[in-house]
Amino acid sequence: MPEISPRLTGINEGGDDGWGVFYKARRMKADGIDVTELTIGEHDIRTDPAILDAMHAAARGGHTGYAMIPGVAALRQRVADRIRNRTGVATTQANVLITPGGQAGLFAAHVAACPPGRRALYIDPYYATYPGTLRAAGAQAVAIPTRSEDGFLPDPAAVDAAAAQGAASLLINSPNNPTGVVYPDTTLRALADICTDRDLWLISDEVYDTQVWQGTHLSPRALPGMADRTLVIGSMSKSHAMTGSRIGWIVGPEPAIAALIDLATTTTYGVPGFIQDAALFALDQGTAFEARIAEPFRRRRDAVLDVIARQQIVRAIPSSGAMYLMLDIRATGLSGQDFALHLLDSHRIAVMPGESFGRSAAGHLRVALTVADDRLVQAVETLCAFAAKAAISA
């Protein structure tokens, strides 16, 4: 066999990076063991039947051929209107590319922003695909560590120091996976200033923008001068429980979107028309529909924080968005990975080790708020009791 290009073999750096816990939980489930899975960021509900009806009607109506590669005009317009209404920034169809999910958007945005081999900055802890995505796009992925004690917020001085060594882009994600942290305006302004001063693209992953529990979400594209250097990644996976439909978008300056259409022509060749019609229908259901999808996570987050407040060993990272909580378990003396493996073995509860999301989250756990309230509360009570025992024997 001829060589497989390093472009592909270099995507993953090897090692299980803490994902062993997840795979073990899946194997246990396949063997019929009842595992409480607080691992993956996927709703415990399925896509609303009304959206599926719209999808079915569109397919039956004949929208099964090649669709317009940048996205159908009505959906591009609807996304542009949505972004303009939410941010106040002038946005037209020409600023929107429809993509098969946020993940494809992340990849394409880095291809757009990063000439081959240039440094692409991202913040640790990070959504698990980030470093591989940046490398797949041909960039050199550079993680910028943060500290639990700072609520995992990026330190602008550290970002500036990394940018000073030369970089093409900075990727941020607020509301954040895995931490649930929503970046304050001051942080976003400082990061925007760095992008302007150092001439970087800002790639802003906003796929959790409908899941904000306190304060408001500021899209950095709305900051002065940033519309020309920001690529916003959007998705209907989280906002509309449409993870499997693979539908999202990139919003950015017109010339970047025009160039990205060339990339789409040579990669995805667009998104299925019936999925786009269903997405348009879903967006037309309005904000009350989106709030209904988000509500269980707010409720469960409050319930888990009540459990955490009743003990001293496990600390929750202060957060205000997304469908996760990050727990600091360093008082137990265990790594996130050891804690998660033991918890799975002894109590059949699966959580993600912080180490799965980068070095900065070592000694932490990410809990996805994706099971029914009672079961979640019981699992977190068990987790805390387990932590207390581990701390005594530490």
Q: Would you say 169 or 243 has its CB closer to ligand PMP?
A: 243
Identify the three-state secondary structure at position 248: strand
Whether residue 62 contacts residue 268, with contact meaning beta carbons closer than 8 Å, is answered with no
Q: How far is the CB of 339 from ligand PMP (least distance, A)?
A: 22
| Contacts for 307 with CB less than 8 Å, ≥ 6 apart | 377, 380, 381, 384
Q: How far is the CB of 177 from ligand PMP (least distance, A)?
A: 4
Q: Would you say 279 or 349 has its CB closer to ligand PMP?
A: 279
Cα separation, 324 vs 286, in Å, equals 24
Report the run of H or E that residue 170 belongs to, with start and end. strand 169-173
Q: Would you say 248 or 363 has its CB closer to ligand PMP?
A: 248
Cα separation, 8 vs 6, in Å, equals 5
Q: How far is the CB of 205 from ligand PMP (least distance, A)?
A: 5
Binding site for ligand PMP (CB under 6 A): 41, 101-103, 127, 173, 177, 205, 207, 235, 237, 243, 248
Q: Would you say 205 or 328 has its CB closer to ligand PMP?
A: 205
Q: How far is the CB of 8 from ligand PMP (least distance, A)?
A: 20
Q: Distances in Å between the alpha carbon of 72 and those of 58, 62, 250, 277?
A: 13, 14, 14, 8
Q: How far is the CB of 201 from ligand PMP (least distance, A)?
A: 17
Q: How far is the CB of 114 from ligand PMP (least distance, A)?
A: 18
**Distance from the first to the final alpha carbon of the chain:** 51
Q: Would you say 176 or 332 has its CB closer to ligand PMP?
A: 176
Strand bridging mode 140-145 / 119-124: parallel
The residues that bridge with 154 in the sheet, in sequence order, are none
Q: What is the largest CA-CA distance in the chain?
A: 65
Q: Would you say 242 or 256 has its CB closer to ligand PMP?
A: 242
